[in-house]
Amino acid sequence: MNFTTGQIADQINGTVIGNRDAVITSISKIEEGSKGSLTFLANPKYTEYIYSTNASAAIVSNDFKPTEKIQITLIKVKDPYSSFTTILELFNKNQSDRKGISDLTVIDKSSKISDSAFIGSFSTVGKNSIIADNCIIENQVFIGDNVKIGEGSMIYPGVKILDDTKIGKNCIIHSSCSIGSDGFGFAPNDDGSYKKIPQTGNVIIGDNVEIGSNSTIDRATLGSTIISNGVKLDNQIQIAHNVEIGENTAIAAQSGIAGSTKIGKNCMIGGQVGIIGHLKIGDNVKIQAQAGVTSDVESNARITGTPAISYMNYNKSYVHFKNLPEIVKKIDKKD
């Protein structure tokens, strides 16, 4: 679907400087713009491209003032990045407006599928499951028994959603995720072998959650593993049984959270962070990449290292860490 620059500006409360009737057919990076595309300028690092891009229009901040002659139509807004995100959603919505069920899908008769939902080829829906309005279930998705998927959610190819999982509204689950698999629960026997502990709980995912490709969220041993509203998980993340993650927390790729740990609201957790089990992480905590968290963390803390300590203390200590070889040499000379 095509839009004019005027229509786009109306969607984001922008002011058009140039041609309001320019037709936009696609979205592009500013350095790769082509005729008919819309781009944006949010980072000053890319300002030079605003004068050379072949895009038809660009979203810029209200305070942007060209220092050279400019050909491109500008749409001025308060926050270019946020506004461009809104337009991406608009284009994506038009691209994914599908309904119907493929003839190559297997759905148990006891399940309820909204007439406005879409289910692709070679997908399976088990017993007593519910797929709400405007959901999109792509090809080769497995949905088990007693699963509920809320309105407007998008499930990409190859996702496995196992029994009793509850997924809220407007969620996005990317390819090859496993939701509701057994937690890592084993009891040691006297002979050194292990006895499996039955995992009888489920996974509950709130509204507006996004989960990256190849991530795994384990069902609870008892009760629920809980991913609250607005949580954003990157690719290849492991969430163990009975973990709880608070609203609007974001976790970067390859991080792992061990069983029964509770993470607060609005936390930011970097890539390859490891958090041991049964901890309590407060609200608004920032954990730097590759940190190893082995104890509880108070709200508003910023930590790094293994074992993780205060970010500022780590930086002060690092001044001495990097000088240790020279310090040791001096000590040896004194001896």
Query: So which residues are the catalytic ones?
Result: 241
SS3 of residue 89 by DSSP: helix
Q: Number of H helices and number of E strands within the chain?
A: 4, 40
Angle at 17 (CA atoms; ends 1, 48), nearest 5 degrees: 90
List of E strands, 220-321: 224-227, 232-233, 238-239, 244-245, 250-251, 256-257, 262-263, 268-269, 274-275, 280-281, 286-287, 292-293, 302-304, 309-310
Q: Whole-angstrom Cα distance, residue 135 to residue 101?
A: 11
Angle at 195 (CA atoms; ends 194, 201), nearest 5 degrees: 125
Q: 60: part of which helix (H) or strand (E)?
A: strand 57-61
Query: DSSP readout, 159-188?
Result: -EE-TT-EE-TT-EE-TT-EEEEPP--EEE
Q: 204: part of which helix (H) or strand (E)?
A: strand 202-205
Q: Whole-angstrom Cα distance, residue 108 to residue 131?
A: 12
CA torsion 14-20-23-26 (nearest 10°) is: -20
Q: Whole-angstrom Cα distance, residue 229 to residue 246?
A: 8
Residue that has been written with the tokens 């509850």 in this structure: 166
SS3 of residue 222 by DSSP: coil
Q: Whole-angstrom Cα distance, residue 179 to residue 170?
A: 16
Q: Residues, the chain, total?
A: 335
Q: Whole-angstrom Cα distance, residue 233 to residue 255?
A: 9
